[in-house]
Structure 1
């Protein structure tokens, strides 16, 4: 019994798992246990159906679940079949948009999540012992400086790669995956190029200060500088895309 005044805990009944979902989980576990590299062909539907003791329709639906989530690809034609895919940020981001749309999440809320998560990751990167985090962000910073006068697409990619390097340098793959997915959702739905050429030197300077704080292992400074940088970006978006920020994140 609960104590007086405390609400009773209620547990949602567990949904009955479909055969196809059970098979999808077993296929995914098998890929991990066998350490199958991307590009490796899996067994045919017929072989899987016999091994799992189910019909081919259940195997086909299981493979479709994995394909939708970017974990396998299905090659058609002679010699085709299911193939292990390379997990990607874009696939994870696409799956995430389905839930964000169902929740009624706006692009403004998505951007705020980016501010919070990327600031945290910068601090975690600075807190990591050893030189690896500093090497990662410094390499990305130098590549971005080389591309600062390039075309918009190249510049945008370099800008995004610096933020991806900070996420990787943090040493937290779960948070990094989320941050990269949020950035991917944003860039393909709002804009991949935002700051005009005359403002790019100040953005490069902001990246430089973040990188220096990470190299110096100054966690508080790195987190604060990344938050300042992201909030400046956030304010610019409010000025340039206020209506878009009110939109609900769309799936797909």
Structure 2
């Protein structure tokens, strides 16, 4: 609202209100600048960034600010910090593990429901199988065979679950799609961590899993994407239904 005209000079004063302003931290500004240059490919993998002292001189920022910016980049997987005489910050390429870590943080941070994890897996994994049938190599098939051999062994529950994760991840690797690989790595870990495997995985489940995996592997080996998709859809949907049935029974028992 405008104030009355000043009797002294005839001017009108207007009451101006400003919203609180968020000023970025200097370390965030420096991390953003370095991140963009890394992602643009200005620094090849393995390149050493200038030492902290030189970065302080170049940027005019404090050593603590420079150090915090480098820690941000390290957490994001863009640099690897080495200590010692030959130490420093070295550029590293983001890989599937970085994708998996980010997805894992989202799953845990948002407390994503187990049902949602299975829905996502049913949407993604048949596509992995289709691409695997089209692009698999001899090394990919060897990895699938090793996982199948481990699943068929009469090992501990932990060994079976790890072999199961290894097989599903191997299918994603065989798709030669880095995003799908990262997503499946995170999804597989989350699903098996969230499932009451002790009360669910019995000898019948192990046998059914082993048979399904072999059938899907053969479709991938034969280069038959349609069969790979059908068999993977049937496998992951059946597994999801069985797991959720166990989860529902457990919830009812607890509430009772």
Please indicate, yes or no, whether the TM-score normalized by the shorter chain is above 0.5: yes
1:24–1:65 CA contact under 8 A, matched in 2: no
List aligned pairs for 1:35-46, cutoff 5 A. Answer: 35-36=45-46, 43-46=50-53
What is the aligned partner in structure 2 of residue 177 from structure 1? Answer: 182
List aligned pairs for 1:71-110, cutoff 5 A. Answer: 71-74=78-81, 81-82=88-89, 91-100=98-107, 105-110=112-117
TM-score normalized by structure 1?
0.71
Q: 1:239 to 1:211 in 2, by over 3 A?
A: same
Q: Which runs of 5+ in 1 are unaligned?
A: 1-14, 246-252
Q: 1:111 to 1:90 in 2, by over 3 A?
A: farther
Query: Secondary structure of the equivalent of 1:33?
Result: coil
Q: Deviation digits for residues 125-150 of structure 1, max 9, x if unmatched?
A: 1123xx61x65134322343245212
Q: CA deviation at 1:113?
A: 0.4
Q: Which runs of 5+ in 2 are unaligned?
A: 1-21, 252-256
Asked whether 1:122 is paired with 2:121, we answer no
Asked whether 1:58 is paired with 2:39, we answer no
More off after superposition, 68-77 vs 232-241: 68-77
List aligned pairs for 1:164-243, cutoff 5 A. Answer: 164-190=169-195, 195-242=201-248
1:67 is aligned, of 65, 68, 74, to 74
Alpha-carbon RMSD: 3.5
Q: Deviation digits for residues 171-211 of structure 1, max 9, x if unmatched?
A: 21122212212222333444677522342122111011101
What is the aligned partner in structure 2 of residue 8 from structure 1? Answer: none
Q: 1:19 to 1:122 in 2, by over 3 A?
A: same
What is the aligned partner in structure 1 of residue 166 from structure 2? Answer: 161
- Partners in 1 of 2:100 and 2:196 — Cα distance? 16
More off after superposition, 47-56 vs 232-241: 47-56
Larger radius of gyration: 2
TM-score normalized by structure 2?
0.70
1:118–1:226 CA contact under 8 A, matched in 2: yes
Q: 1:43 to 1:75 in 2, by over 3 A?
A: same
- Partners in 1 of 2:195 and 2:85 — Cα distance? 41
What is the aligned partner in structure 2 of residue 151 from structure 1? Answer: 156
Q: 1:74 to 1:221 in 2, by over 3 A?
A: same
Q: 1:29 to 1:139 in 2, by over 3 A?
A: closer
Q: CA deviation at 1:163?
A: 0.8
2:130–2:229 CA contact under 8 A, matched in 1: yes
What is the aligned partner in structure 1 of residue 31 from structure 2? Answer: 21
Q: 1:80 to 1:186 in 2, by over 3 A?
A: farther
Q: Which has the higher contact order (CA 8 A, sep 6+)?
A: 1
